[in-house]
A and B are shown apart, each in its own frame.
Chain A
Amino acid sequence: MSHLPPEHALTLVALDEGDAERQLAYAHAAQCPGCAALLREHEAMLQMLDATFAPAPISPALAARVQLRVYPRRWPRLVLLGVWLASLALVLGGAATSDVLAAGIGAHCALVEAGFAVVPVGVGAWLSRAGRVRLDPVGFASIAGAAGLIGQVWLRGHCPVHGAPLHTFLFHFLIVLALSLLGGALGPRIVAPRA
């Protein structure tokens, strides 16, 4: 074997002890004082390299941050949910004394919008089941929402408290939104063959 190339001496000493190339180099160095000196010199260089490594200390703040991200505490979420529910209860409780949130009127509006949605969704499901059209959940949601919207438009002339923002938001806007979600969830189930 020829002498070890100096430019690769650091690599040779850095290789795993079981590495064939390293073993070959050391076997040669055992017979060659010059190459043995070269390897010794680069072993010292490698030690110098190794000595610069230190694991980075982790600050208590960082450790706590990671712990919280991985295992978030439950109580802040429960408190937040409680705050929202309490706030909603206060709004609804305060408004319940007026006609704006009267349950009867709200139920009437919700039923009207749902009634508008039932027939198109039913027809869509029937056509889909018959293979005449292909509707996915978003398709059903669109039909239900659009039909609910038509109901909402109809209510502009038939709802006794239509001008009240809270009533309109809760029983007109949110009901149309809920109808869309329900249509998307239930429509495909109607179409799917029963087990």
Chain B
Amino acid sequence: VDIALAHGHARMRPGRALREVVGSVGQATDERALMAAYVDGDQAAFSALFAATAPRLLAFFQRALPDRALAEDLLQRTFERVHAARHRYERGAPVRPWLFTIAAHVRVDELRRRYRLASTVDDTELDALPDRAPGPDEVPDQADRDARVRAAIDALPASQRVVVHLHRFEGLTFGEIGAVLGAKEGAVRIRAFRAYATLRDALAPLMEPDR
């Protein structure tokens, strides 16, 4: 399997929709089998796993940080950590939550390094960091609807944006997201509720018939 399989992905449907169409069981089983083979030293399995997951991980980093080059660096760091920790992967466990847990740590480590924060800072403090993403109101009116929706998501506080991304686009449950982010399921649920309420307000004008 060539790692180049990861290139040139056409636009795909969101994680949850994809699960419904393709079937999450088969996909997850494939990833578990690939992960097991990779842990056993199969380089081709690593390439296939990379091809299957890297575009989604990169999208996660791009959602979290607007700098494409930095997102690529973080993706590289994630796979370096995955490689170092591959023997700690519990065989048969879902692969994506495990990968996203590592990616979430890489993201937070980068934020702490960038803003010279102590390792004890929580998401509330991370949310207060400057965010360069323009809000939906700053996007020109003539911009297409997708751009305005993306701007609405990007305008969410980082801790809510991550939850929406993992919930809606990766199809993770609140419990899985809690495990990924090291937060309680209830706290994740509250973040999701706040995020969707904010998104509803931001997207409501786009639902009007003349748009």
Contacts and interface: CB of A to CB of B under 8 A. Distances in A.
A49 B3 CA distance: 30
Nearest to B38: A70
B72 A62 contact: yes
A8 B197 contact: yes
Given A57-B7, A57-B55, A66-B76, A48 B199 contact: no
Contact of B203 (A45, A64, A66, A70): A45
| Binding site secondary structure of chain B | helix
A157 interface: no
A192 to B, nearest CB: 31
Interface string B139-151: 0000001100110
Interface size class of A (residues with CB under 8 A): 35 or more
B59 interface: yes
B18 to A, nearest CB: 10
Interface in A3-57: 6-11, 14, 16, 41-42, 44-46, 48-57
Interface of B: 3-4, 6-9, 11-17, 43, 46-47, 50-51, 54-56, 58-59, 62, 71-72, 75-76, 79-80, 83, 145-146, 149-150, 153, 167-169, 173-174, 192-193, 196-197, 199-201, 203-204, 206-207
Interface of A: 6-11, 14, 16, 41-42, 44-46, 48-60, 62-67, 69-71
